[in-house]
Chain A
Amino acid sequence: MPDRAIIGQYWPEDSLVHAMDPRVKFILSFVLMAAVFCAATPLSLAVAALFVVGFYAASRIPLLQAIRAIGPLLVLVVLTALLNVLFVQGGHVYFEFGIICISEKGLQSAVFIGCRLLLLLMGMSLLTLTTATLDITAAFERLMAPLSRIGVPAHELGMILGIALRFLPQFMTELGIIYCAQKSRGAHFNANPFRGGIQSLTALLIPLFTSAFRHAETLSAAMEARCYHGGVGTTRLDPLRLTWRDAVGTGALVLMIAAVVATNYVPLS
């Protein structure tokens, strides 16, 4: 089974965005989403798109790669757009057949919502494309740290997130091998689920679970061998540090929000 690129997999590159503090990127990616949501007119959405493309340029990630990375989710975009075409009515009617009615407003809102969703997805994947998983978990842990005062196990949650992300590709590979092995033994996975299909599914899942337990045991032994004892008193090899790049990034996003909100008030001629 060929390895498929996972949504928003880290894309190593030497750029301003990559070098930013992951905590800042974490927060800014949410701000970016808010900014995209702020855009209420086609013009301001275009401005937002311009900024997103600009951010990608700054991160030196080829746009094509970015769109490929969100590939499977594009279905969602298309589906939402289609629903809009069918359910939003008004203005000039281009086509009518039974309950299907394609109107001017429907098309407009379909394009608008589709673009907005696409921008949202691209904004989110910018975080994962430019930040290694270890840094994302570190940022997550640091940002959650204040909550540990009220009993939220911030470090443990960060660790769980990190381990889960680390083992995702591992399990994908193993699942591929198990799939091939059971198929070699005549398992038919697309068969009737009521006749043998269920058993074929257990033939996939049970080995995957046993492998997960095996990995868990080895991993916990390895962690103990390295004296892991939770987050208390643990120092980092590269402490997260704010730099001028984070100021630039934050500034760019503030500028984006300002531009988007301002263009919202430009009347459509």
Chain B
Amino acid sequence: MRLAFEDVSYSYEGGEAKKRRGRRKKDAARQADWGNAPDAVWALRDVTFTVEPGEFFGVAGHTGSGKSTLIQHMNGLVHPTCGRVLADGRDLAEKGVATEVRRQVGLVFQYPENQLFANTVYDDVAFGPRNMGLGAEEVDRRVREGLALVGLSFDELAERSPFDLSGGQQRRVAFAGVLAMEPEVLVLDEPVAGLDPLSREEFLGLIRELHAGGRTIVMVSHSMEDLAALSDRILVLSEGRVFRLGTPAEVFADAAALKAVGLGAPAPEAFAASLREAGFELGRDLYDERTLAADIAAQLAGTPVAAAPDAAVGFAALRAADAVIEGGGDDA
């Protein structure tokens, strides 16, 4: 499914689009005019982008930049004040479309374990499929599959109360509840927030697998490392506007600009930038821990890396770096 945002603006003041469905068509055609309602609080302003099928789409932004509002547009929980959100060309604000699209766009909120409610894990995971009006057999199949996808044992857990499980397991159950609806697009709001490092890695692995299985993933995260490692493209929001949109390499190329909107480059990339400033020749567009380690090792060994023309330059840079480090040490 292709999700397209066309000049989407959203204001809390103008909210409750439902009440004004009759006026919607006219409003949607109208361009947001910021002078119209100077007091209105705009959570999103003229946001335009498309999530392509099969893509891993990262969303980053400072707290309050409109990320949560943005993803709530993706399955029609809120409708734009101005502009349109199209799912395969159909306007989500039209009657009935949102209900249908909710089956294809699974939205996992932040701390989804807080939304568990049923007596048993089985019933909780089955909530979505049952709401879709599926038969008991199909529901059963989907619950088994959902639990299997998140790596939980059906036989062990299905009849237990979700409230008896550990925090990490609860989150998996909540995840399974959305996966059981078999959505094409999975929208995740901070899926690994508050997890310990191990479960974090496991969870990211799980998300990677789900993506490899053909699902479109939209992931909101505060961790630039996770976004850089997983995303095909990253959308950076700032004060409700699109600040950057592009591949991780493009987005993280300008670390200073990112810093200005309250974000930073991923740690390896930031480190690479500091090394470059100190005179290292690092040629790649985007570094992760492994490639950075390899290139530093290559430089230290005196072997020119791809972008370093000859060893002499490398050594000169190294000496310069040493001088910088020693100078820093004296100051301290």
Q: Which residues of A contact B (CB under 8 A)?
A: 2-3, 174, 177-178, 180-188, 196, 199-200, 202-207, 210-211
Contacts and interface: CB of A to CB of B under 8 A. Distances in A.
Nearest to A186: B131
B131 A188 contact: yes
A178 B115 contact: yes
A203 B16 CA distance: 23
Contacts, number: 69
A187 B103 CA distance: 11
Given A206-B117, A211-B114, A180 B127 contact: no
Given A2-B15, A180-B72, A210-B163, A185 B181 contact: yes
Nearest to B110: A177
A186 B181 contact: yes
B106 interface: yes
Contact of A184 (B15, B77, B114): B77
A207 B116 contact: yes
A200 B112 CA distance: 17
Listed from nearest, the 3 A-B pairs whose CB atoms lie closest are: A186-B131, A206-B117, A2-B12
Contacts of A199: 127
A180 B109 contact: yes
Contact of B75 (A184, A205, A207): A184
B107 interface: yes
A184 B178 contact: yes
Given A180-B77, A210-B163, A186 B132 contact: yes
Nearest to B109: A181
Contact of B131 (A181, A187, A205, A211): A187
Interface of B: 12, 15-16, 72, 75, 77, 99, 102-103, 106-107, 109, 112, 114-118, 127-128, 130-132, 163, 177-178, 181
Given A186-B103, A206-B117, A207-B117, 6 more contacts: A2-B12, A182-B127, A186-B128, A196-B131, A199-B127, A210-B163
Contacts of B107: 180-181, 184
Contacts of A186: 99, 102-103, 127-128, 131-132, 181
A207 B114 contact: yes
Nearest to A205: B117
Contacts of B163: 210
A181 B112 contact: yes
B164 to A, nearest CB: 12
A174 B132 CA distance: 25
B106 A184 contact: yes
A151 to B, nearest CB: 38
A183 to B, nearest CB: 6
A24 to B, nearest CB: 34
6 contacts: A2-B16, A181-B107, A185-B178, A186-B99, A186-B181, A207-B116
A2 B128 CA distance: 25
B162 to A, nearest CB: 10
A211 B163 CA distance: 12
A83 B116 CA distance: 45
Contacts of A174: 114
Given A183-B77, A186-B131, A210-B163, A177 B109 contact: yes
